[in-house]
Structure 1
Amino acid sequence: MSASSSQASPSSSSQYHHFVPRFLLRNFAVFKNPGKVVPKTSKKGKNRTPQPQKLTVLDLQRGEFKQGDVSETFGIVDMYRDFEEVDRDQQKLERELSVLENAAADILARVKRIHDAGKNQVQLSRKEKDTLRRFLFIMMYRNSSFAKRFQTSRKDYDADDRVEMLAYMDERGFQSPRDVWFANIRAFLKVELDEDWPNALENLSRRAYPSDARWFFTHIQAFFIAFCTPKKTEEEFLLTQNAYGVYEGPTSAGPWTDYHRFAPVSPKIMIVLRSLLLPFAGVEQDAGIRQMLESTKSMHPDPDKAGSFLEDMPVSRAGNNYSRVINGRVELLSTKMSRDKHIFYFPFFALDHDHVQKINMICLENAHDTSTIVYKSPESLRTALEFYLTDKTPGFKVICGSRPNDSDYLHRMVREMGLLSHVRREDEMRPYLQLLHKFARQLGSTVDLEYNVLNGLGSIFTTAMRTE
């Protein structure tokens, strides 16, 4: 079966387009009837293991546990359907995306197979690494939040870049933000990654919205890939609806900094994209990089609190066959090896309990306005929920005020002043936290829900931990 995220049908018919492809969803799937599955017998008389078909999910809209079909989870009908195509090939973009998805599916299936076999690293060619980097960016760029941003009319487009976007549309003759989105995705699929960075950026900027073109290359150039796995066998990573669009880092009224981004591959494998601004094991941090990190922090209202929640995570860049590290410095080998011969050695980093659950916590914190959370085992879900519900880290689970008027005022003020990264109105966040607490209780948990309440006193804002 193809790894494409569309279901077979004529190009002019409606299709359910996944923003998390089915080949990834299957890694989180359980059997159709857990505990009652009888292995099927093939024509040769040998038992065949039944293929996973169902996902176990938290339905945040109905407030219940349920099973969902892989084919009907994390997608939108006609997300990539181009109704303006006069040649009636309205699903062309989906088929173009499927080529990249199939290539990424092959790479990640091998990564999973090697990890599951107990190996400590996986080798990727430069072409495979670049394919994976392209795929990860497009996964982020086409998530459900971006679909909502672009799938609107010119008149109703209200993102922060409204003025720039409308000017760009006028310049290029685009009729809707959706047309810009489609053109950008096509450009990201086609841009050559072997070109020198300045030339590649210039070429991409001629075909894509310039700020998003710069974002594409920042994503490629400023982060490294780390394959992470739980050290404890009973722990797992969750898959939230918007996981591929989640980042870790400070957000202020204007600037935001993403130190880490996340891409769940399976309950046991999480791709972490880590900023090169942060230190990592084995290599001495360059003085210029340290200066850039401090400069980045200084853009936020409170630079001392603008660091990374996961800075001490024990990950590092992949090794390769064309350089080596000597006394903390990377030195190129004296070889004229061509780029297509480059091999990268990616270790599997075993993360301890705190780092695994901090990643889950970041995903849960950002899932408050989504509808579905996918998990594999009830035990691992309970562990993740308990860690999040009882964590006391400042900046997480922050709710504005206790009365509607206070909540509205405080929420507006702190967002305008950029004082806290993730402040939600009480009527947005508190019901979500209470729902997660209810789920935890149904799984046998006895922990209390703890969250931060933001109160105002004149121009001074204070937070206090509340337990219920």
Structure 2
Amino acid sequence: MSHQYHHYIPRFLLRNFAIDKYERIFYEVNIAQQQYESRKKAELLQIYDRKKDKLGISLIANTYGYWDMYKDLNNTDVMHVEEKLSKLEGSVAITIKKILKASQEKNKVVLLRKYLEDLRKFLFVMNYRNNHRWFQFTGDNFDFITRSMVNDFMQQQNLQRPEEVWLQNIREILDTPHWEVKDNMKIFKIDRDDYNQRMVECFLIIWQAGENDEFIVTSNGFGIFEGVSGNMFGSPFGFAYHTFYVLSPKLVLVLCPSHFRKEVGETELLYKCFGGQRSIFENVPHPAAIPKHVGRVKPTSFSESSNKPKLNITDPIDLKSHLFDAVLKSNGIETRWNDEFTFSFVKIDSATVHLVNIILLNEVGPDLVLTFLSHPNLYKTIVKYNKHYKDSVKKDFTNLKKKLRTELNRTHKDDLHLRRKIPENSTFTWNFREIN
């Protein structure tokens, strides 16, 4: 039986961090050699492997994945889940490419509802298939209450092992329309509720780093959140104020509860529910997408006994997702696949970029694999991390900091040495490229 290496961070995202996106080298002018080197660099990442305590490079093809993650031995086509994932990724890759291109040329991007729903589904799958969640099911690593729920679900669905629950969840999510995932009983309840809370009831914003700042990527970084965490009734509990999905060194998608929308303005109520714990990003702009609906139907009014408000159709829709359909229909609007949503790129300052990176770093485990674009910006991130957290809670990145300092000093010395050796009429060029 053949084996396949399955990525939990797809290659089309990793290529945004490829070495050829940021290079500082001397080379002799040779077009054929340049083309070969360009292809070679496009498949390499700069990484830090915490387990090996090693700073180096890695092939994209061999990074952030496991063998046969999606193999379904209970199906005649054992790779059918991987094939479904490939179709979703193909659609989303085009959408993300559009977002990246727009971010380099203008201050907004327009996305159609159909592709936006695919993007949301993809974001959930990205979080759901990361190494932590996968090992939770393959290693039966649950708290007592969750394990009992998993066992009951396996009995109901005639499944033999927890990892079959994980695989069935992904398959059903891929096969189910976005708005119906929350009602699909073949998906484990905790995961159905999680999907609904984040992918349906949260709104999406796009943050953009400045010229001298960069986001990083970590093994479990997709879906890491800032908010409230603790234990309730003996089980882990968390409520996300902001959930992060890094697309590139310059862009991160952020999902937020509708309380943060200025049209709703209920952040104080939200904070009160969680003991007054405030978001560290509360002062960062949260502009919701502006919709343009193409469908019109005959308006229907709410009943007189209902306290549900009627929305002015000039306002952005999606304020309270559980009222979504009723609010739209009451204003004579029918959702269509080609409804347009205009997203602004929110330019954030260095402090906010570092806070996002700090949250990613503080959730890493001993098996961290960290991807970055440039050594200087990663060094800045580590320095900021060490200043932000107290010694009692922060992770130890002392060795990484030393390695980065050594690398930066070596690069600086090599640059000076090579510059001095260039003859006046040489065939060498100085090449410096950086992502915008």
TM-score range, shorter chain: 0.7 to 0.9
2: distance between equivalents of 1:216 and 1:269?
A: 23
2: distance between equivalents of 1:397 and 1:83?
A: 47
Aligned to 1:23: 12
Pair 1:94-2:82 in alignment: yes
Shift of 1:290: 4.7
Selected match of 1:309 from 246, 270, 280: 280
Shift of 1:241: 1.2
Pair 1:435-2:399 in alignment: yes
2: distance between equivalents of 1:69 and 1:280?
A: 41
Matches within 5 A, 1:11-410: 12-31=1-20, 35=25, 50-51=38-39, 52-85=42-75, 87=76, 89-116=77-104, 118-152=105-139, 161-194=146-179, 201-202=182-183, 204=184, 206-231=185-210, 233-254=211-232, 255-277=237-259, 279-281=260-262, 283-286=263-266, 290-295=268-273, 297=274, 303-304=275-276, 306-322=277-293, 323-325=313-315, 336=333, 338-391=335-388, 396-399=389-392
Q: Which amino acid aligns with 1:273?
A: L
- Root-mean-square deviation (CA), in Å? 2.9
2: distance between equivalents of 1:55 and 1:84?
A: 36
Shift of 1:353: 1.0
Structure 2 counterpart SS, 1:161: helix
Query: Gaps (5+ residues) in structure 1?
Result: 1-11, 298-302, 400-422, 446-468
Q: Which amino acid aligns with 1:374?
A: T
Query: How much identity, in percent, do the aligned residues show?
Result: 26
TM-score of the superposition, structure 2-length normalised?
A: 0.78
2: distance between equivalents of 1:54 and 1:47?
A: 15
Structure 2 counterpart SS, 1:250: strand
Shift of 1:56: 0.6
2: distance between equivalents of 1:91 and 1:437?
A: 41
Q: Which amino acid aligns with 1:98?
A: S
Q: Which amino acid aligns with 1:250?
A: V
Contact persistence 1:386–1:440 (CA under 8 A): no
Contact persistence 1:201–1:217 (CA under 8 A): yes
2: distance between equivalents of 1:337 and 1:84?
A: 41
Aligned to 1:448: none
2: distance between equivalents of 1:60 and 1:307?
A: 31
Contact persistence 1:124–1:344 (CA under 8 A): yes
Shift of 1:221: 2.2
More helix by share: 2
Shift of 1:365: 0.8
Contact persistence 1:389–1:437 (CA under 8 A): no
2: distance between equivalents of 1:100 and 1:361?
A: 30
Q: Spell out structure 1 runs of 4+ moving beyond 3 A.
A: 31-34, 36-42, 46-49, 156-160, 289-293, 329-338
Query: Gaps (5+ residues) in structure 2?
Result: 294-312, 321-326, 410-436
Deviations 1:361-397 (A, max 9, x none): 0011112433311000112111111111112xxxx45
Contact persistence 1:375–1:381 (CA under 8 A): yes
Deviations 1:232-274 (A, max 9, x none): x021001111110311112113332211111111101111112
CA 1:258–1:36 in 2, change beyond 3 Å: closer, same or farther?
Answer: same
Structure 1 counterpart SS, 2:178: coil
2: distance between equivalents of 1:81 and 1:253?
A: 34
2: distance between equivalents of 1:24 and 1:90?
A: 25
Contact persistence 1:314–1:349 (CA under 8 A): yes
CA 1:115–1:49 in 2, change beyond 3 Å: closer, same or farther?
Answer: farther
CA 1:397–1:166 in 2, change beyond 3 Å: closer, same or farther?
Answer: farther
1: distance between equivalents of 2:52 and 2:14?
A: 21
TM-score of the superposition, structure 1-length normalised?
A: 0.73
Shift of 1:439: 3.5
Shift of 1:83: 3.1
2: distance between equivalents of 1:173 and 1:440?
A: 51
Deviations 1:139-180 (A, max 9, x none): 111111011001136xx7657511111122122211000111
Contact persistence 1:55–1:69 (CA under 8 A): yes
Deviations 1:267-298 (A, max 9, x none): 01111112223x345x3515xx7535422x0x
Q: Which amino acid aligns with 1:23?
A: F
Residue correspondences, number: 373
2: distance between equivalents of 1:337 and 1:256?
A: 34
Deviations 1:194-227 (A, max 9, x none): 56xxxx633x1x2111121111111122221111
